[in-house]
Amino acid sequence: MVKRIGVLTSGGDAPGMNAAIRAVTRVANSAGIEVYGIYDGYLGLVEGYIEPLTRSDVSDIIDRGGTILGSARLPEFKDPKVQQAGIHQLKKRGIEAVVVIGGDGSYRGALALSEQGINCIGLPGTIDNDITCTDFTIGFDTALHTVVEAVDKLRDTSSSHHRCSVVEVMGNRCGDLALWAGIACGAEIVVTPQTGFEETEVLERLKEFDVVKKKRHAIVVISEKITDVDAFAKKVSLNTGFSGRATVLGHVQRGGSPTPQDRVLASRMGEKAVDLLIQGIGGQCVGIKDNQIIAVPIKEALDIPRSSRKKLQDLFDRLV
Ligand code: ADP
Ligand code: F6P
Protein backbone atom coordinates (compact mmCIF):
# COMPACT_ATOMS: atom_id res chain seq x y z
CA MET A 1 0.00 0.00 0.00
CA VAL A 2 1.05 3.59 -0.60
CA LYS A 3 3.11 4.88 2.35
CA ARG A 4 3.77 8.53 1.57
CA ILE A 5 1.70 11.03 -0.41
CA GLY A 6 1.91 14.71 -1.29
CA VAL A 7 -0.80 17.34 -1.53
CA LEU A 8 -0.70 20.61 -3.47
CA THR A 9 -3.02 23.45 -4.44
CA SER A 10 -2.66 24.97 -7.89
CA GLY A 11 -4.19 27.63 -10.16
CA GLY A 12 -6.59 30.23 -8.74
CA ASP A 13 -7.21 29.65 -5.04
CA ALA A 14 -10.70 28.84 -3.76
CA PRO A 15 -12.35 28.85 -0.33
CA GLY A 16 -12.47 25.27 0.92
CA MET A 17 -9.03 24.30 -0.34
CA ASN A 18 -7.85 24.25 3.29
CA ALA A 19 -10.70 21.94 4.27
CA ALA A 20 -9.59 19.60 1.48
CA ILE A 21 -5.93 19.70 2.62
CA ARG A 22 -7.09 18.93 6.16
CA ALA A 23 -9.24 16.00 5.04
CA VAL A 24 -6.48 14.50 2.89
CA THR A 25 -3.96 14.81 5.74
CA ARG A 26 -6.18 13.40 8.46
CA VAL A 27 -7.74 10.55 6.47
CA ALA A 28 -4.28 9.54 5.21
CA ASN A 29 -2.65 9.80 8.66
CA SER A 30 -5.44 7.64 10.14
CA ALA A 31 -4.63 4.99 7.52
CA GLY A 32 -0.92 5.11 8.47
CA ILE A 33 0.10 7.15 5.41
CA GLU A 34 2.56 10.05 5.77
CA VAL A 35 1.58 13.32 4.09
CA TYR A 36 3.81 16.01 2.61
CA GLY A 37 2.62 19.51 1.77
CA ILE A 38 3.94 20.78 -1.57
CA TYR A 39 3.97 24.59 -1.45
CA ASP A 40 3.02 26.97 -4.28
CA GLY A 41 1.61 24.35 -6.61
CA TYR A 42 3.79 22.88 -9.35
CA LEU A 43 6.38 25.61 -8.71
CA GLY A 44 7.09 24.22 -5.23
CA LEU A 45 7.06 20.70 -6.63
CA VAL A 46 9.78 21.51 -9.14
CA GLU A 47 11.81 23.59 -6.68
CA GLY A 48 11.45 21.06 -3.85
CA TYR A 49 9.52 23.29 -1.46
CA ILE A 50 8.01 20.27 0.27
CA GLU A 51 7.47 19.75 4.02
CA PRO A 52 5.77 17.08 6.14
CA LEU A 53 2.16 17.76 7.15
CA THR A 54 0.69 16.21 10.27
CA ARG A 55 -2.75 16.27 11.93
CA SER A 56 -1.77 19.24 14.08
CA ASP A 57 -0.43 21.22 11.10
CA VAL A 58 -3.95 21.21 9.68
CA SER A 59 -5.69 22.26 12.93
CA ASP A 60 -7.70 25.47 12.84
CA ILE A 61 -7.75 25.78 9.07
CA ILE A 62 -11.17 24.39 8.15
CA ASP A 63 -12.72 27.84 8.42
CA ARG A 64 -9.94 29.72 6.63
CA GLY A 65 -10.15 30.98 3.06
CA GLY A 66 -7.19 30.79 0.68
CA THR A 67 -4.77 27.89 0.95
CA ILE A 68 -2.15 27.33 3.64
CA LEU A 69 0.03 25.68 0.98
CA GLY A 70 -0.06 28.70 -1.32
CA SER A 71 -0.84 28.49 -5.01
CA ALA A 72 0.93 29.51 -8.18
CA ARG A 73 0.81 29.25 -11.93
CA LEU A 74 3.78 27.64 -13.68
CA PRO A 75 3.14 27.53 -17.45
CA GLU A 76 6.51 25.75 -17.92
CA PHE A 77 5.02 22.67 -16.22
CA LYS A 78 3.65 21.67 -19.63
CA ASP A 79 7.24 20.80 -20.58
CA PRO A 80 8.01 17.11 -19.86
CA LYS A 81 11.53 18.08 -18.71
CA VAL A 82 10.07 20.35 -16.03
CA GLN A 83 7.65 17.57 -15.03
CA GLN A 84 10.64 15.23 -14.66
CA ALA A 85 12.27 17.73 -12.30
CA GLY A 86 9.11 17.55 -10.16
CA ILE A 87 9.09 13.77 -10.25
CA HIS A 88 12.74 13.78 -9.17
CA GLN A 89 11.83 15.89 -6.11
CA LEU A 90 9.09 13.41 -5.18
CA LYS A 91 11.25 10.33 -5.65
CA LYS A 92 14.04 11.87 -3.55
CA ARG A 93 11.58 12.01 -0.65
CA GLY A 94 9.87 8.67 -1.31
CA ILE A 95 6.57 10.38 -2.17
CA GLU A 96 4.66 7.94 -4.35
CA ALA A 97 1.41 9.78 -5.10
CA VAL A 98 -0.06 13.30 -5.04
CA VAL A 99 -3.46 14.89 -4.47
CA VAL A 100 -3.78 17.93 -6.75
CA ILE A 101 -6.41 20.48 -5.74
CA GLY A 102 -7.15 22.93 -8.55
CA GLY A 103 -8.92 23.52 -11.84
CA ASP A 104 -8.70 21.87 -15.24
CA GLY A 105 -5.23 23.27 -15.96
CA SER A 106 -3.97 21.69 -12.74
CA TYR A 107 -5.67 18.44 -13.78
CA ARG A 108 -3.58 18.38 -16.97
CA GLY A 109 -0.45 18.53 -14.82
CA ALA A 110 -1.82 15.73 -12.62
CA LEU A 111 -2.54 13.62 -15.69
CA ALA A 112 0.99 14.14 -17.01
CA LEU A 113 2.48 13.03 -13.66
CA SER A 114 0.17 9.99 -13.51
CA GLU A 115 1.24 8.94 -17.00
CA GLN A 116 4.84 9.03 -15.78
CA GLY A 117 4.20 6.72 -12.83
CA ILE A 118 3.17 9.10 -10.03
CA ASN A 119 -0.45 8.34 -9.13
CA CYS A 120 -2.32 11.64 -8.89
CA ILE A 121 -5.90 12.36 -7.92
CA GLY A 122 -7.49 15.70 -8.84
CA LEU A 123 -9.90 17.53 -6.55
CA PRO A 124 -11.93 20.36 -8.14
CA GLY A 125 -10.83 23.50 -6.30
CA THR A 126 -12.10 26.58 -8.14
CA ILE A 127 -14.81 29.19 -7.69
CA ASP A 128 -15.71 28.93 -11.39
CA ASN A 129 -17.65 25.62 -11.29
CA ASP A 130 -16.12 24.96 -14.69
CA ILE A 131 -15.14 21.33 -14.19
CA THR A 132 -17.72 19.41 -16.11
CA CYS A 133 -17.50 16.00 -14.41
CA THR A 134 -18.80 17.41 -11.13
CA ASP A 135 -22.03 19.18 -10.24
CA PHE A 136 -20.12 21.50 -7.91
CA THR A 137 -16.51 22.52 -7.35
CA ILE A 138 -14.98 23.38 -3.98
CA GLY A 139 -15.31 27.16 -3.54
CA PHE A 140 -18.26 27.79 -5.84
CA ASP A 141 -20.82 27.95 -3.04
CA THR A 142 -18.74 30.41 -1.00
CA ALA A 143 -18.13 32.65 -4.02
CA LEU A 144 -21.84 32.53 -4.82
CA HIS A 145 -22.63 33.71 -1.27
CA THR A 146 -20.18 36.60 -1.73
CA VAL A 147 -21.77 37.59 -5.04
CA VAL A 148 -25.30 37.36 -3.66
CA GLU A 149 -24.44 39.48 -0.64
CA ALA A 150 -22.93 42.15 -2.89
CA VAL A 151 -25.78 42.17 -5.40
CA ASP A 152 -28.38 42.41 -2.61
CA LYS A 153 -26.61 45.56 -1.41
CA LEU A 154 -26.40 47.00 -4.91
CA ARG A 155 -30.13 46.46 -5.36
CA ASP A 156 -30.89 48.59 -2.27
CA THR A 157 -29.03 51.60 -3.58
CA SER A 158 -30.09 51.05 -7.22
CA SER A 159 -33.71 51.08 -6.14
CA SER A 160 -33.30 54.36 -4.25
CA HIS A 161 -31.79 56.08 -7.31
CA HIS A 162 -33.68 54.47 -10.20
CA ARG A 163 -30.47 52.87 -11.36
CA CYS A 164 -29.30 49.89 -13.31
CA SER A 165 -26.38 48.06 -11.71
CA VAL A 166 -24.22 46.13 -14.13
CA VAL A 167 -22.35 43.61 -11.99
CA GLU A 168 -19.40 41.71 -13.43
CA VAL A 169 -18.66 38.37 -11.82
CA MET A 170 -15.85 35.86 -12.36
CA GLY A 171 -16.21 32.48 -14.02
CA ASN A 172 -13.42 31.96 -16.53
CA ARG A 173 -15.73 31.36 -19.53
CA CYS A 174 -18.24 29.48 -17.38
CA GLY A 175 -21.51 31.30 -16.64
CA ASP A 176 -22.51 29.35 -13.52
CA LEU A 177 -21.64 32.04 -10.95
CA ALA A 178 -23.62 34.62 -12.94
CA LEU A 179 -26.62 32.37 -13.55
CA TRP A 180 -26.88 31.05 -9.99
CA ALA A 181 -26.46 34.58 -8.62
CA GLY A 182 -29.04 35.91 -11.08
CA ILE A 183 -31.61 33.42 -9.83
CA ALA A 184 -30.69 33.89 -6.16
CA CYS A 185 -30.83 37.71 -6.37
CA GLY A 186 -33.82 38.08 -8.66
CA ALA A 187 -31.72 39.89 -11.26
CA GLU A 188 -33.46 41.30 -14.33
CA ILE A 189 -30.87 40.10 -16.84
CA VAL A 190 -28.08 37.53 -16.82
CA VAL A 191 -25.38 37.53 -19.50
CA THR A 192 -22.96 34.62 -19.71
CA PRO A 193 -20.74 33.02 -22.36
CA GLN A 194 -23.56 30.51 -22.73
CA THR A 195 -26.33 33.11 -23.30
CA GLY A 196 -24.23 35.32 -25.60
CA PHE A 197 -24.43 39.13 -25.54
CA GLU A 198 -26.47 41.27 -27.92
CA GLU A 199 -25.95 44.77 -26.58
CA THR A 200 -28.90 46.41 -28.34
CA GLU A 201 -31.24 43.65 -27.25
CA VAL A 202 -30.18 44.02 -23.61
CA LEU A 203 -30.71 47.79 -23.81
CA GLU A 204 -34.20 47.23 -25.29
CA ARG A 205 -35.07 44.84 -22.47
CA LEU A 206 -33.88 47.35 -19.90
CA LYS A 207 -36.17 50.01 -21.43
CA GLU A 208 -39.04 47.57 -21.04
CA PHE A 209 -38.25 47.03 -17.35
CA ASP A 210 -38.37 50.81 -16.90
CA VAL A 211 -41.32 51.82 -19.08
CA VAL A 212 -43.58 48.75 -19.13
CA LYS A 213 -42.77 46.98 -15.87
CA LYS A 214 -42.14 50.25 -14.03
CA LYS A 215 -39.19 48.86 -12.09
CA ARG A 216 -37.28 51.18 -9.74
CA HIS A 217 -34.05 49.33 -10.43
CA ALA A 218 -32.52 46.77 -12.75
CA ILE A 219 -29.70 44.35 -12.05
CA VAL A 220 -27.64 42.94 -14.90
CA VAL A 221 -25.30 40.15 -13.78
CA ILE A 222 -22.66 39.58 -16.42
CA SER A 223 -19.78 37.12 -16.61
CA GLU A 224 -16.25 38.50 -16.91
CA LYS A 225 -14.48 38.82 -20.27
CA ILE A 226 -17.69 39.50 -22.24
CA THR A 227 -17.75 43.27 -22.50
CA ASP A 228 -16.37 46.43 -20.91
CA VAL A 229 -18.94 46.91 -18.16
CA ASP A 230 -18.04 50.58 -17.54
CA ALA A 231 -18.66 51.42 -21.20
CA PHE A 232 -21.86 49.38 -21.18
CA ALA A 233 -23.16 51.15 -18.04
CA LYS A 234 -22.65 54.50 -19.84
CA LYS A 235 -24.73 53.21 -22.76
CA VAL A 236 -27.45 52.23 -20.26
CA SER A 237 -27.52 55.85 -19.02
CA LEU A 238 -27.66 57.20 -22.58
CA ASN A 239 -30.24 54.80 -24.00
CA THR A 240 -32.62 53.88 -21.16
CA GLY A 241 -34.46 55.61 -18.32
CA PHE A 242 -32.06 54.09 -15.77
CA SER A 243 -28.74 55.63 -14.88
CA GLY A 244 -26.16 52.90 -15.27
CA ARG A 245 -23.41 52.02 -12.80
CA ALA A 246 -20.86 49.25 -13.19
CA THR A 247 -19.40 47.17 -10.37
CA VAL A 248 -16.62 44.66 -10.95
CA LEU A 249 -16.62 42.30 -7.96
CA GLY A 250 -13.16 40.96 -8.83
CA HIS A 251 -10.96 38.99 -6.46
CA VAL A 252 -13.19 39.59 -3.44
CA GLN A 253 -15.06 36.57 -4.86
CA ARG A 254 -12.04 34.35 -4.25
CA GLY A 255 -11.68 35.04 -0.53
CA GLY A 256 -13.53 34.50 2.71
CA SER A 257 -14.36 31.71 5.08
CA PRO A 258 -15.79 28.73 3.20
CA THR A 259 -19.50 27.97 3.63
CA PRO A 260 -20.47 24.79 5.50
CA GLN A 261 -21.42 23.29 2.13
CA ASP A 262 -17.91 23.87 0.73
CA ARG A 263 -16.27 22.55 3.92
CA VAL A 264 -18.30 19.34 3.82
CA LEU A 265 -17.80 18.91 0.06
CA ALA A 266 -14.04 19.39 0.44
CA SER A 267 -13.93 16.90 3.31
CA ARG A 268 -15.88 14.26 1.39
CA MET A 269 -13.73 14.73 -1.71
CA GLY A 270 -10.48 14.67 0.30
CA GLU A 271 -11.53 11.36 1.84
CA LYS A 272 -12.29 9.89 -1.59
CA ALA A 273 -8.91 10.98 -2.97
CA VAL A 274 -7.05 9.12 -0.22
CA ASP A 275 -9.25 6.03 -0.58
CA LEU A 276 -8.43 5.90 -4.31
CA LEU A 277 -4.70 6.21 -3.67
CA ILE A 278 -4.90 3.44 -1.05
CA GLN A 279 -6.42 1.25 -3.77
CA GLY A 280 -3.46 2.08 -6.00
CA ILE A 281 -5.60 4.18 -8.36
CA GLY A 282 -4.27 7.34 -10.04
CA GLY A 283 -5.07 9.53 -13.03
CA GLN A 284 -8.60 10.15 -11.76
CA CYS A 285 -10.48 13.18 -10.49
CA VAL A 286 -13.16 13.35 -7.87
CA GLY A 287 -16.59 14.88 -8.37
CA ILE A 288 -20.06 15.01 -6.90
CA LYS A 289 -23.03 13.88 -8.98
CA ASP A 290 -26.53 13.74 -7.51
CA ASN A 291 -24.93 14.06 -4.06
CA GLN A 292 -22.76 10.96 -4.60
CA ILE A 293 -18.98 11.31 -4.54
CA ILE A 294 -17.61 9.82 -7.74
CA ALA A 295 -14.28 9.40 -9.53
CA VAL A 296 -13.69 9.78 -13.28
CA PRO A 297 -10.48 9.32 -15.31
CA ILE A 298 -8.96 12.81 -15.77
CA LYS A 299 -8.60 12.17 -19.49
CA GLU A 300 -12.35 11.61 -19.85
CA ALA A 301 -13.24 14.45 -17.49
CA LEU A 302 -11.31 16.98 -19.57
CA ASP A 303 -13.28 15.99 -22.68
CA ILE A 304 -16.80 16.31 -21.24
CA PRO A 305 -18.45 19.34 -22.91
CA ARG A 306 -19.77 22.14 -20.72
CA SER A 307 -23.53 22.04 -20.11
CA SER A 308 -25.55 24.89 -21.59
CA ARG A 309 -27.53 25.03 -18.28
CA LYS A 310 -30.67 25.27 -20.39
CA LYS A 311 -33.07 24.24 -17.61
CA LEU A 312 -31.68 26.79 -15.16
CA GLN A 313 -31.60 29.48 -17.83
CA ASP A 314 -35.25 28.68 -18.68
CA LEU A 315 -36.11 28.94 -14.99
CA PHE A 316 -34.39 32.32 -14.80
CA ASP A 317 -36.36 33.54 -17.83
CA ARG A 318 -39.67 32.39 -16.29
CA LEU A 319 -38.91 34.14 -13.00
CA VAL A 320 -38.20 37.57 -14.49
P1 ADP B 1 -6.58 25.99 -13.00
O2 ADP B 1 -5.95 24.77 -12.47
O3 ADP B 1 -7.32 26.77 -11.97
O4 ADP B 1 -7.38 25.74 -14.27
P5 ADP B 1 -4.42 27.04 -14.67
O6 ADP B 1 -5.11 26.76 -15.96
O7 ADP B 1 -3.70 28.34 -14.53
O8 ADP B 1 -5.41 27.01 -13.42
O9 ADP B 1 -3.41 25.85 -14.41
C10 ADP B 1 -2.66 25.79 -13.21
C11 ADP B 1 -1.31 25.20 -13.48
O12 ADP B 1 -1.45 23.86 -13.98
C13 ADP B 1 -0.50 25.89 -14.56
O14 ADP B 1 0.14 27.06 -14.10
C15 ADP B 1 0.49 24.82 -14.93
O16 ADP B 1 1.50 24.76 -13.94
C17 ADP B 1 -0.36 23.56 -14.83
N18 ADP B 1 -0.84 23.18 -16.16
C19 ADP B 1 -1.78 23.81 -16.91
N20 ADP B 1 -1.93 23.21 -18.11
C21 ADP B 1 -1.05 22.18 -18.14
C22 ADP B 1 -0.71 21.18 -19.11
N23 ADP B 1 -1.29 21.11 -20.31
N24 ADP B 1 0.24 20.27 -18.77
C25 ADP B 1 0.84 20.31 -17.57
N26 ADP B 1 0.56 21.23 -16.62
C27 ADP B 1 -0.36 22.16 -16.89
O1 F6P C 1 -10.16 30.46 -11.97
C2 F6P C 1 -10.45 31.37 -10.95
C3 F6P C 1 -10.39 32.78 -11.45
O4 F6P C 1 -10.70 33.64 -10.37
C5 F6P C 1 -11.26 33.10 -12.66
O6 F6P C 1 -12.60 33.30 -12.31
C7 F6P C 1 -10.59 34.33 -13.19
O8 F6P C 1 -10.81 34.47 -14.57
C9 F6P C 1 -9.12 34.09 -12.91
O10 F6P C 1 -9.07 33.08 -11.89
C11 F6P C 1 -8.37 35.30 -12.43
O12 F6P C 1 -7.03 34.95 -12.33
P13 F6P C 1 -5.93 35.79 -11.53
O14 F6P C 1 -6.10 35.48 -10.09
O15 F6P C 1 -4.65 35.29 -12.07
O16 F6P C 1 -6.20 37.24 -11.80
Sign, CA dihedral 145-148-150-156, equals negative
DSSP label at 14? -
* Catalytic residue list contains 128: yes
Q: Choosing from 128, 130, 141, 262, which is the catalytic residue?
A: 128
In short, whether 139's Cβ falls inside 6 Å of ligand 1 is: no
In short, whether 74's Cβ falls inside 6 Å of ligand 1 is: yes
In short, whether 254's Cβ falls inside 6 Å of ligand 2 is: yes
DSSP label at 308? -
In short, whether 282's Cβ falls inside 6 Å of ligand 2 is: no
CA distance 212 to 43: 56
- Residue nearest ligand 1's atom 18 by CA: 105
**For ligand 2, what atom is nearest to the CA of residue 73?**
15
**Can you state the angle between helices 260-278 and 140-160, rounded to 10 degrees?**
160
DSSP assignments along 221-265, one per residue: EEETTSS-HHHHHHHHHHHSSSEEEEEE-GGGGG-SPPPHHHHHH
Which ligand ends up closest to the CA of 253? 2
CB 270 within 8 A of CB 27: yes
What pLDDT does 180 receive? Answer: 98
- Residue nearest ligand 2's atom 5 by CA: 172
Q: How far is the CA of 209 from the centre of ligand 2 (A)?
A: 32
DSSP assignments along 139-184, one per residue: THHHHHHHHHHHHHHHHHHHHHTTEEEEEEE--TT--HHHHHHHHH
Q: Is the full-model pTM beyond 0.95? A: yes
Which ligand ends up closest to the CA of 226? 2
How far is C-alpha 72 from the geometric centre of its chain's CA atoms? 15
In short, whether 170's Cβ falls inside 6 Å of ligand 2 is: yes
- Residue nearest ligand 2's atom 15 by CA: 12
Q: How far is the CA of 181 from the centre of ligand 1 (A)?
A: 27
Q: How far is the CA of 127 from the centre of ligand 2 (A)?
A: 9
CB 124 within 8 A of CB 103: yes
Give SS3 for 294: strand
CB 283 within 8 A of CB 150: no
Which ligand ends up closest to the CA of 122? 1
**For ligand 1, what atom is nearest to the CA of residue 130?**
4
Q: How far is the CA of 120 from the centre of ligand 1 (A)?
A: 14
pLDDT in tens, the chain (320 residues): 999 999 999 999 999 999 999 999 999 999 999 999 999 999 999 999 999 999 999 999 999 999 999 999 999 999 999 999 999 999 999 999 999 999 999 999 999 999 999 999 999 999 999 999 999 999 999 999 999 999 999 999 999 999 999 999 999 999 999 999 999 999 999 999 999 999 999 999 999 999 999 999 999 999 999 999 999 999 999 999 999 999 999 999 999 999 999 999 999 999 999 999 999 999 999 999 999 999 999 999 999 999 999 999 999 999 99
CB 123 within 8 A of CB 285: yes
